[in-house]
């Protein structure tokens, strides 16, 4: 009986500790995922905001869309940066241009190598004819 009472007491203590811990430990709340907006939506909202005549219309638009004025400022900066960097050519175009330049230099080198080979063939033919002729003369004597 003594062991049963101590087990019951331990269970009561453990359950009271668990309930105290549960009250103290708050469950972690799920965070909402960050909203992302497509470029077309950003442009649409900025244009609608600029079209508003009064501050109350602008505020109503922002409340309706669930946005803050600072967000519009960030979007304007992003769009300005995109316009400023749009004059740069994409990497694929640069790679293509570099490959075209490399191709032309390799074609020039190939043409030069082919010309050298042709010259070597002609020199070889001339020398072989000239070398063979004296040998033929020596054999006849």
pLDDT band at residue 135 under the 50/70/90 scheme: low
pLDDT at 11: 64
pLDDT at 131: 66
pLDDT at 15: 57
**pLDDT tens sequence across 71-118:** 999 999 998 888 777 666 678 888 889 999 999 999 999 999 999 999
d(CA 10, CA 65): 57
| Per-residue buried b or exposed e for 26-60, using 16+ beta carbons within 10 Å of the residue's own CB | eeeeeeeeeeeeeeeebeebeeebeeeeeeeebee
d(CA 54, CA 81): 28
**pLDDT tens sequence across 39-82:** 999 999 999 999 999 999 999 999 999 999 999 999 999 988 88
pLDDT band at residue 30 under the 50/70/90 scheme: confident
pLDDT at 58: 93
pLDDT at 23: 65
d(CA 53, CA 67): 18
pLDDT at 27: 72
Count of Cβ atoms closer than 10 Å to residue 64 Cβ? 9
d(CA 46, CA 40): 10
- Residues comprising the chain, all counted: 141
What does DSSP assign to residue 40? Answer: H
pLDDT at 134: 61
């Amino acid at each position: 009986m003594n062991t049963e009472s101590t087990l019951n007491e331990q269970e009561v203590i453990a359950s009271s500790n668990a309930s105290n811990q549960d009250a103290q430990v708050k469950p972690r709340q799920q965070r909402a995922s960050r909203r992302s907006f497509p470029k077309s939506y950003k442009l649409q909202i900025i244009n609608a905001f600029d079209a508003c005549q009064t501050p109350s219309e602008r505020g109503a638009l922002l409340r309706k869309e669930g946005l803050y004025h600072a967000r519009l400022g960030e979007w304007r900066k992003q769009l300005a940066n995109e316009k400023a960097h749009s004059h740069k050519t994409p990497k694929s175009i640069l790679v293509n241009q570099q490959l075209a330049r490399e191709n032309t230099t390799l074609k020039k080198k190939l043409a030069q190598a082919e010309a050298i080979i042709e010259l070597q063939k002609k020199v070889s033919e001339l020398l072989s004819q000239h070398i063979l002729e004296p040998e033929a003369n020596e054999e006849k004597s």
